């Protein structure tokens, strides 16, 4: 009798899927380590156990802060990755790029006080408040994000979209996925280097610079590419589309968004600087439309 019970428990453990947690680590007993472990132990692991996942936590695998071959293999191979972007830790961003290159299910989470860089701002991120009540509110939302990520047949992300947009995929042999991953990591290092150069600039100066860029762009319409979506909805609710407009302008402050309402439809017009990759913005609109049961042309 006991042997059968043990076999059932063993089988259940074998059936568990694996989730790698990308997280800032920090030294033992540091504020960074305590905050990261608090979110993992109180918020993430209970939901993973509920969904029959086993958690792979990097600093419990090794005390070294280096990104080892074993860690990279888990980032690529695990069924799910949860990436905590709080503090924009360089190792976290590096590992995030590896997972994006693998184009497998991933959930982004972040403390609400962290401002995400524009390269990943359009991606759906679950923000949380880092206190006891905030973690309790975070848990049911995390479950929804995980289920949505696992259900997505063709995950979209900045690294994969950029490579696809430049037709790099055509030059990579299907039989050699390592070349694909290495190319994606190299692209990410370039992006991180650019972000490091501007991170120390005063926030007010950055805001003023963005405003000047927007004013200059308005004067030079020729420097924009225009994307138009026609939304078919006889009983359209303006608040839904205004919500999309608000998300786009907050996530991508360098673009211009306008809405034109007709009797049975609405036209969404987005003006994007020519040097900007439009694919993440297009995917953000597409996701929003699907979530709100709207049809676009």
Q: How far apart are CA 280 and CA 116, in angstroms?
A: 15
| Structure confidence by residue, pLDDT tens digits, 265-295 | 777 788 877 777 777 877 888 888 877 777 7
Query: In the chain, which ranges are continuous DSSP H helix?
Result: 2-15, 31-39, 45-50, 58-61, 69-77, 90-102, 132-151, 158-165, 177-199, 203-219, 238-251, 279-291
Q: Which CATH architecture has domain 210-296?
A: 2-Layer Sandwich (3.30)
Q: 260 by DSSP, 3-state: which? A: strand
From the list 229, 254, 227, the residue with the least C-alpha distance to 121 is 254
Return the SS3 of 266: strand
Confidence of residue 63 (pLDDT cuts 50, 70, 90): very low
Question: Which pLDDT tens digit goes with each residue over 165-205?
Answer: 555 445 544 445 555 566 666 666 666 655 555 554 444 45
**Record: fold of 2-195:** Rossmann fold (3.40.50)
pLDDT at 234 over 60: no
Highest mean pLDDT: which range of 11-20, 50-59, 176-185, 247-256: 50-59
Max mean pLDDT among 26-35, 138-147, 180-189 falls in 138-147
Cβ neighbourhood burial of 224 (10 Å; 0-12, 13-18, 19+): middle
Mean pLDDT of the chain: 76
- In the chain, where are the structural domains located? 2-195, 210-296
């Amino acid at each position: 009798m006991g042997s059968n019970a043990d076999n059932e428990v063993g089988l259940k453990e074998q059936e568990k899927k694996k989730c790698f947690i990308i997280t800032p680590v920090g030294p033992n007993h540091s504020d960074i380590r305590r905050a990261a472990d608090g979110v993992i132990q109180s918020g993430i692991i209970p939901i993973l156990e509920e969904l029959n996942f086993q958690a792979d936590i990097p600093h419990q695998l090794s005390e070294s802060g280096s990104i080892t071959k074993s860690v990279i293999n888990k980032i690529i191979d695990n069924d799910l990755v949860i990436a905590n972007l709080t503090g924009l830790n360089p190792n976290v961003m590096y590992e995030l790029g590896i997972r994006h290159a693998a184009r497998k299910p991933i959930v982004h989470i972040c403390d609400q006080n962290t401002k995400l860089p524009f390269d990943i701002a359009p991606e759906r991120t679950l923000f949380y408040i880092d206190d006891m009540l905030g973690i309790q509110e975070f848990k049911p939302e995390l479950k929804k994000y995980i289920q949505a990520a696992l259900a997505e047949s063709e995950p979209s992300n900045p690294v994969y979209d950029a490579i696809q947009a430049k037709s790099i995929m055509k030059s990579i042999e299907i039989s050699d996925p390592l070349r694909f991953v290495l190319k994606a990591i190299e692209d990410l290092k370039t992006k991180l280097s650019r972000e490091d150069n501007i991170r120390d600039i005063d926030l007010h100066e950055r805001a003023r610079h963005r405003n000047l860029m927007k004013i200059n762009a308005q004067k030079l319409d020729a420097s924009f590419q225009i994307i138009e979506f026609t939304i078919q909805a006889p009983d359209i609710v303006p608040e839904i589309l205004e919500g999309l407009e608000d998300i786009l302008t907050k996530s991508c402050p360098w673009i211009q968004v306008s809405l034109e309402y007709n009797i049975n439809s609405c036209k969404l017009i987005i003006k994007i600087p020519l040097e900007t990759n439009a694919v993440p913005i297009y995917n953000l609109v597409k996701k929003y439309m699907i979530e709100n049961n709207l049809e676009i042309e």
